[in-house]
Structure 1
Amino acid sequence: MIKAITFDLWNTLICVKDYTSLRIEHLVELLDKQNASPDEKVIRQVYFSIQGLWRPDSAGQYRFISVKERVEMILKKLGIEIKQGPKLAIVRDFEEVILKDPPSLLNGVKFTLESLYQKYPLGLVSDSGFAPGRILRKILQSLGVLKFFDCTVFSDEVGYNKPNSLMFNQALKLLKVQPKETIHVGDLLETDIAGAKLAGMLSIWIDQRKKRSNHKSFYP
């Protein structure tokens, strides 16, 4: 008997948007103020070079790499040293740029959540990327759907990304349900479906790639 449902966030509930250009544009501006302004093309190359951080580490885990760590990696690769204050300003900008152009809900999501909320406890299990849980909760609040979730679990707060089962176990603990009593809904086989299986949960795969064959998975 199903007693609870958890959802992925990006491309399951809200649309995927790429904030790369905005972050790079702001990074160039902030570095200019520090009299350190490498070519934007070089910054873009370095930015994309750290995308592999979402792969498992040597221990086979998917440890979450904080935005501060990523910014420090970018600056190191660029050969730039700046003071802590400006560095933290870059971190905040990377985290909060999503608020300047928030994503929207996918069609039918609000109606679906509202209907399910009346029957089941609902949870959210989402990787954070450059946008931490505190920012994503603000977006969900502004979209009018945060109220439907009994728990929200984000990788920056757990310390690991999906498919690490700790993400799903945290939601199960907060919802006070057993894995076999819970369905996880998500769009990525390698993170959502694989992670739910590792945690012993049931799952539903939303195959968005059928709609967009050239789809790429971005983290905000």
Structure 2
Amino acid sequence: MDAHAVKAILFDLDNTLIETSRAGGGAIRKTSELLKTTLALDDNTISSICDKFKQKLLQESFDPSAGRSIDEVRVGHWEESIQEAVGSCSPASLAAQCYYLWKNSRLEDLSLSTEICNLLKQLRGRYKLLLLTNGEAQTQREKVKAVGCEEFFDAIVIGGEHAEQKPFLSIFALCFSMLKVEAQDCIIVGDSLDTDIQGGFNAKVRATVWISSAGGALLDGSVTPDYTIPTVLDLPQILQQLK
């Protein structure tokens, strides 16, 4: 076992510390009800509109220099999704209603559980903690504010505020510099093999810890994490092994 002591922990946010996917699912269901009430469409068409919106989110490439806010871009996603499914006969304001219902419902449903808050408090007494999350700056800052997690971290780094996001080495180097630690002093904890675990591997951190509620099945060609746990609440067991 490597005797190098762990001094710092980098945490991902979405689906690591907070259940963003679950909150997003609930927000989509509420938006579906709005669409159903407003447009009197069948369930399949409503599902098609929502699926189109989710696909546009996944494929989103936001450029803040283009003159449109992220809110305006995502209102556009709903407008396009509705038009693609039913044409242009929907009320002009419906896309904005859908977006803000989805956005606000998702934010309202995000939270740090009591157990995770207690874990972070305990860890903060022994390690430097940094939140490192990918995503558009406004969106991620709104999540951080909604769940009130600032108090638990020595620093918060939002990928969308920098030239490169996870898994690129530059953003990890920034984190190490902010915490005044070396890569080998750190572990990273996150749910994404492509960004969190690959990024940790690229940065040569002490260990990578993958959060996999599905049981830890790896895809062919994916990076292999040093440790796999179903929930971040199991992290103390890994830290005990790393002593």
Distance 2:11 2:161 in 1: 17
| Paired AA for residue 174 in structure 1 | M
| Paired AA for residue 196 in structure 1 | G
Listed as ranges, the gaps of 5+ residues in structure 1 are: 58-64, 214-220
1:177 equivalent among 163, 177, 181? 181
1:69 equivalent among 70, 73, 87? 73
1:128 touches 1:156 (CA, 8 Å); kept in 2?
Answer: yes
* RMSD of Structure 2 on Structure 1 (CA): 4.0
1:179 touches 1:202 (CA, 8 Å); kept in 2?
Answer: yes
| Paired AA for residue 119 in structure 1 | R
| Paired AA for residue 205 in structure 1 | V
Distance 1:78 1:170 in 2: 41
1:127 matched to 2:134: yes
Q: CA deviation at 1:26?
A: 3.3
Paired position in structure 1 for 2:105? 97
Paired position in structure 1 for 2:46? 40
Distance 2:17 2:173 in 1: 21
1:22 equivalent among 24, 27, 41? 27
2:130 touches 2:154 (CA, 8 Å); kept in 1?
Answer: yes
Q: CA deviation at 1:44?
A: 1.8
| Structure possessing the higher radius of gyration over alpha carbons | 2
Greater relative CO (CA pairs within 8 A, separation 6+): 1
1:67 touches 1:95 (CA, 8 Å); kept in 2?
Answer: no
Q: Percent identity?
A: 22
Q: CA deviation at 1:92?
A: 4.4
1:98 touches 1:131 (CA, 8 Å); kept in 2?
Answer: no
Distance 1:73 1:102 in 2: 22
| Paired AA for residue 103 in structure 2 | E
| Paired AA for residue 59 in structure 2 | L
Q: CA deviation at 1:124?
A: 0.6
C-alpha change, 1:113 and 1:19, in structure 2 (3 Å) is same
Q: CA deviation at 1:95?
A: 3.3
Q: 1:91-170 residue pairs with structure 2 within 5 A? A: 91-105=99-113, 107=115, 109-128=116-135, 132-141=139-148, 145-158=149-162, 161-170=165-174
Distance 2:159 2:97 in 1: 22
2:53 touches 2:81 (CA, 8 Å); kept in 1?
Answer: no
Distance 2:137 2:34 in 1: 19
2:23 touches 2:106 (CA, 8 Å); kept in 1?
Answer: no
1:4 equivalent among 2, 8, 25? 8
C-alpha change, 1:128 and 1:100, in structure 2 (3 Å) is same
Provide TM-score, normalisation by structure 2: 0.61
For 2:59, what is the secondary structure of its paired residue?
Answer: helix
For 1:162, what is the secondary structure of its paired residue?
Answer: coil
For 2:22, what is the secondary structure of its paired residue?
Answer: coil
| Paired AA for residue 49 in structure 2 | I
Paired position in structure 2 for 1:61? none
Listed as ranges, the gaps of 5+ residues in structure 2 are: 62-68, 218-243
For 1:19, what is the secondary structure of its paired residue?
Answer: helix
Distance 1:155 1:93 in 2: 25
**1:145-171 CA-partner distances (Å, limit 9, x unpaired):** 431201112334336553244443443
C-alpha change, 1:184 and 1:93, in structure 2 (3 Å) is same
Distance 2:96 2:137 in 1: 14
